[in-house]
Amino acid sequence: MEHKNKFLRNLFIILVFIFLYLPIAVLVIYSFNKAKTNIVFTGFTTKWYTELFKNRDLLEAFINTIIIAVTSTVTSTVIGTTAAVGLYKYKFLGKNFVNKLLYIPIIIPEIVLGIALLSVYTLMNLNLGMFTLILSHIAFSIPFVITSVRSTLSDTTKKIEEAAEDLGASKFKVFKEITLPLIRPGVISGATLAFTLSMDDVVISYFTAGPGSNTLPLKIYSMIKTGITPDVNALTSLMLLTVIIILTISIIYQSRKIRKKVVA
């Protein structure tokens, strides 16, 4: 009985992992496929990787995506962090209402937010382009940053800030030396969230992009009609590699921190 349970358990875990990672594995394998379509594997090649750097459209879209992601991440992280700290620190009329209001952009369908932003831009006579894209990405990232930062603020934070104040720190020093280091994990995870959300956003970008401001997800999406070329596979494989490298570094860093603690 015990054996059977163990077997079933392991089988289940294996199936889950296959379900999660098989598509990714296929993508990577096909980026080395000689054939032009993602149907049969005809032989190994790295030509799509060299081809990729010749595909100016795709590269341009990629660069746009990075520019938008970086700008919107930095801006929304600054705004979101200050907002979270402000909401936590100060009492004002309708604070509860504002707190609830923050969840709306997170839960409403993206398509609604996309159309809403588009109508605002038209109303304001803004030309659709990089600027409107960045603005939109900032808008939908802020609530995520606020939620993430807020989770690191607690009553203990308040006590620790009071202790710093008691020891002679000005409000600014308290924020810089105490609050910011304490909420750093929340700020980092908020920023990471904002960055990834911006990187792969399709729906909102679709409504707020203009001519000459194609982003990578939009470009790939439009390619579906004409057929995705293997250089897209190559590009996404490279993106995957970047993510894996970043993850590995963070894991090594964290385990080192834990080990240091155990030794101490």
Partner 1 sequence: MKRVLVELKNLSKKFGKEHVIKDLNLDIYEGEFLTLLGPSGCGKTTILRMISGLEKVTSGKVIIDGKDVTDIVPAKREVNTIFQNFALFPHMTVWDNIDFGLKMHKVPRTEADKRIKDAINLVKLKGFENRKPDELSGGQQQRVAIARGIVLNHKVLLLDESLASLDLKLKREMQIELKKIQKQLGITFIYVTHDQDEALTMSDRIAIINNGTVEQIDTPENIYRKPHTKFVADFIGEANILTGKITKVSENEAVVSLPDNMDLTIDNKNYQVGEEKTVVIRPECFDISSIESLDSFKGVVKEYIYDGMITKLIVQKDNTELRINLMDASSFKEGSDVYLKVPKKYIIVLGDKNE
The residues of the shown chain that bind partner 1, judged by CB under 8 A, are 156, 159-160, 162-170, 173, 177-178, 181-182, 261, 264
* Residue 177 CB, nearest approach to partner 1 (Å): 8
* Residue 240 CB, nearest approach to partner 1 (Å): 34
Can you tell me the distance from the alpha carbon of 67 to that of 142, in angstroms, rounded to the nearest whole number? 17
* Residue 73 CB, nearest approach to partner 1 (Å): 24
Q: Is the dihedral of CA 225, 229, 231, 235 positive or negative?
A: positive
**Residues facing 33 on adjacent strands:** 44
Distances in Å between the Cα of 254 and the Cα atoms of 72, 189, 249 are: 27, 14, 9
Nearer CB in complex with partner 1: 54/159: 159
Query: CA nearest 77: which of 202, 217, 183?
Result: 183
Nearer CB in complex with partner 1: 113/187: 187
* Residue 142 CB, nearest approach to partner 1 (Å): 26
Nearer CB in complex with partner 1: 124/167: 167
CA 45 to chain centre: 31
Nearer CB in complex with partner 1: 56/261: 261
183 is written with which tokens? Answer: 């909420």
Distances in Å between the Cα of 42 and the Cα atoms of 29, 45, 46, 69, 238 are: 11, 10, 13, 36, 21
* Residue 99 CB, nearest approach to partner 1 (Å): 20
Nearer CB in complex with partner 1: 185/227: 185
Nearer CB in complex with partner 1: 119/254: 254
Nearer CB in complex with partner 1: 2/166: 166
* Residue 148 CB, nearest approach to partner 1 (Å): 18
3-state SS of 178-199 is HHHHHHHHHHHHHHHHHHHHHH
* Residue 232 CB, nearest approach to partner 1 (Å): 43
The answer to whether the CB of 161 falls within 8 A of the CB of 179 is yes
The answer to whether the CB of 260 falls within 8 A of the CB of 48 is no
